[in-house]
Structure 1
Amino acid sequence: MTLAKKLRTRLQQREIVIAPGVYDALSAYRAEAAGFEAVFVSGSALAATHLARPDIGLLTASETAEIVARIGDRIEIPMLVDADQGFGNAFAVGRTVGMLERAGASAIQIEDQQEVKPANNPLSRLLISQEAMVDKIKAARDALTDADVLISARSDAMTTEGFERALERVHAYVEAGADMVFVESLTTRAQMDELVRQMDGKANLLHNLLRDTDEVTDAKTAQQIGYSVALFPGTALGAVGAALDRGFADLKNAPELRGGGSKIDRIGADAYLK
């Protein structure tokens, strides 16, 4: 059974799939060792760790595919890969999906933000048209050689067009062939309940557990509502960032800068590779 088929089969179960965000082979390997059934290759985590930049569309499709291939070569659990806007128009989306599938992605997420963001506001969430996103989803489906690979459609319409338009958009995306739906920036349980009601089992639903200010902040509640996947995109990056700050501060403040001063140094890298 392929990993994509394994993921599809697993999503049929009632219990929610918890997918931590990862950014390289080591973080994915440690997530697998911890017992997670799948991982999420987070675009923001890739930008932060490989470029030390915010997630403003600087990574290319080929760079992303190369990282995904390294991860896929080391783990034996499914990967959901953040493909941003597909790195271009519908033609580019087809190429991107082919690259990521060959690299080992079991699910590929495409969002309906504009491909190129304005330089004076790179963190904006300006949208492409619904029709253009539908074309991207169709192109993504057509590009697959393994029909079990899932296409996830993310909509950021909640931020710029409101809840009702977000619902209209994801209905169209599912009709175009999306297997999974992710409406970003839902902040209340009532909104999540309504999305589940309207989808009525037509697609798997994914929720991003990132903000403590949202009404739903845990995977168990998301499961009770009817969601299939809970993403924790920032857990690994936050943990590693804090550990780096502590480790480098300990080294800098050590009486003698000769190594062996931190617990991590004494353990050695091999302890994380068993």
Structure 2
Amino acid sequence: MLHTTVPAAQRRASLRAALERSRAGGGPLLVPGAFNPLSAMLIDEQNFDGVYVSGAVVAADLGLPDVGLTTATEVAARAGQIARVTSLPVLVDADTGFGGPVNTARTVQAFEDAGVAGLHLEDQVDPKRCGHLTGKAVVGVEEMQTRVAAAVRGRRDPNLVICARTDARAVEGLVPAVERARAYVDAGADMVFVEALECEAEYTVFREALDVPLLANMTEFGRSPLLTAKQLADLGMDVVIYPVTLLRLAMGAAERGLAELRDTGTQAGLVDDMQTRSRLYELLGYPAYAAFDTRLAGYTPQENS
């Protein structure tokens, strides 16, 4: 009710412990992306391992493309809204750190204050773009190492997971991307985000080269094949994110529904596809609010609503 009862520090510690279990053969953590707090509550209720906050989704929610237009303040605000309502660890996209080394350290602290359990930084140049678009460019290895080191220095809770994302596979090739990942780990990264890999064999190359947790991105309509959790477990991946899946599902349904409403003049044919009032109230926890303050009683929806 109102806020999760699990402190942020405890969720960071639980993410660390979960990553250790994954590295020991426990299978990857499955982490869908939430596009708002309500969808994060659904992810939590469905017993996933964490909640992801995608920079692309935050941008899209603001009506913007994923080309580096959002600010650290906007992303931290959305991350805080989501972290408030879930007991799960929240992993956030920190883009390129939103500036130079000091900006990156400040971003880390702002995200810590928002209650997140981990974040990832990427090695793209500013302005960055979606990792599955063409025309990407990456900074030099030393510059990215500086970003990672700045994030580590800015971190106050040692359990906050700092993940380094490399976009170099699509720019420089597989071998340079692996070499970059090693350098980022040397700079202090706790985990590596292997972006836009093109086949299962490439995941194997990263797994054999690195002894830290690896994150795989199962975004739809991108460069990477959509592998199952079992396949990714066999490839040694430790975290799997589904960053835009819920937003795409919701927007697809909304677009179809609006078209029918426009064409027929009624939503009557759409009702069976809707979340009911009673289900929404259940997800939001109306009974707990009513129990806390009896003046809020009387929320019970009508039958079949």
Among 233, 239, 264, the residue aligned to 1:229: 239
Residues 123-173 of structure 1 deviation map (CA, whole Å, 9 limit, x = unaligned): 631111110110111110111111000000000011111111101110000
Among 201, 205, 215, the residue aligned to 2:214: 205
Q: What TM-score comes out, normalization by structure 1 length?
A: 0.90
Q: Is structure 2 residue 58 aligned with structure 1 residue 46?
A: yes
Once residues 190 and 266 of structure 1 are traced to their aligned partners in structure 2, the CA distance between those partners, rounded to angstroms, is 44
The answer to whether the Cα contact below 8 Å between 1:60 and 1:87 also exists between their aligned partners in 2 is yes
Aligned Cα root-mean-square deviation (Å): 2.2
Once residues 84 and 253 of structure 2 are traced to their aligned partners in structure 1, the CA distance between those partners, rounded to angstroms, is 26
What does residue 139 of structure 1 align with?
150
Once residues 256 and 112 of structure 1 are traced to their aligned partners in structure 2, the CA distance between those partners, rounded to angstroms, is 49
The answer to whether the Cα contact below 8 Å between 2:36 and 2:82 also exists between their aligned partners in 1 is yes
Once residues 252 and 188 of structure 1 are traced to their aligned partners in structure 2, the CA distance between those partners, rounded to angstroms, is 42
SS at 1:126 equivalent: coil
What does residue 164 of structure 1 align with?
175
1:91-170 paired onto structure 2 within 5 Å? 91-116=102-127, 124-170=135-181
Once residues 200 and 75 of structure 2 are traced to their aligned partners in structure 1, the CA distance between those partners, rounded to angstroms, is 33
SS at 1:181 equivalent: strand
In structure 2, the CA distance between the partners of 1:105 and 1:265, relative to structure 1 (3 Å rule), is closer
Is there any run of 5+ residues in structure 1 with no aligned partner, and where?
Answer: none
Residues 156-215 of structure 1 deviation map (CA, whole Å, 9 limit, x = unaligned): 01111111110111000001110110121211222111111111x2x1101111257645
Q: What TM-score comes out, normalization by structure 2 length?
A: 0.82
Among 5, 24, 45, the residue aligned to 2:13: 5
Shift, 1:58, TM fit: 1.1
Is there any run of 5+ residues in structure 2 with no aligned partner, and where?
Answer: 1-8, 286-305
Once residues 154 and 53 of structure 1 are traced to their aligned partners in structure 2, the CA distance between those partners, rounded to angstroms, is 22
The answer to whether the Cα contact below 8 Å between 1:211 and 1:217 also exists between their aligned partners in 2 is no
Give the structure with higher Rg (CA).
Answer: 2
Q: Is structure 2 residue 49 aligned with structure 1 residue 37?
A: yes
SS at 2:73 equivalent: helix
Q: Is structure 2 residue 71 aligned with structure 1 residue 60?
A: yes
Write out the 4+ residue segments of structure 1 that deviate beyond 6 Å after TM superposition.
none
The answer to whether the Cα contact below 8 Å between 1:87 and 1:93 also exists between their aligned partners in 2 is yes
Shift, 1:262, TM fit: 3.0
1:7-22 paired onto structure 2 within 5 Å? 7-13=15-21, 14-22=26-34
Shift, 1:16, TM fit: 0.8
1:173-252 paired onto structure 2 within 5 Å? 173-199=184-210, 201=211, 203-211=212-220, 214-215=224-225, 217-252=227-262
The answer to whether the Cα contact below 8 Å between 1:187 and 1:216 also exists between their aligned partners in 2 is no
Q: 2:250 corresponds to which letter in structure 1?
A: V
The answer to whether the Cα contact below 8 Å between 1:25 and 1:74 also exists between their aligned partners in 2 is yes
In structure 2, the CA distance between the partners of 1:256 and 1:206, relative to structure 1 (3 Å rule), is closer
Q: Is structure 2 residue 83 aligned with structure 1 residue 80?
A: no
Residues 32-74 of structure 1 deviation map (CA, whole Å, 9 limit, x = unaligned): 111112011011111112x222211111000111111111111
Shift, 1:235, TM fit: 1.1
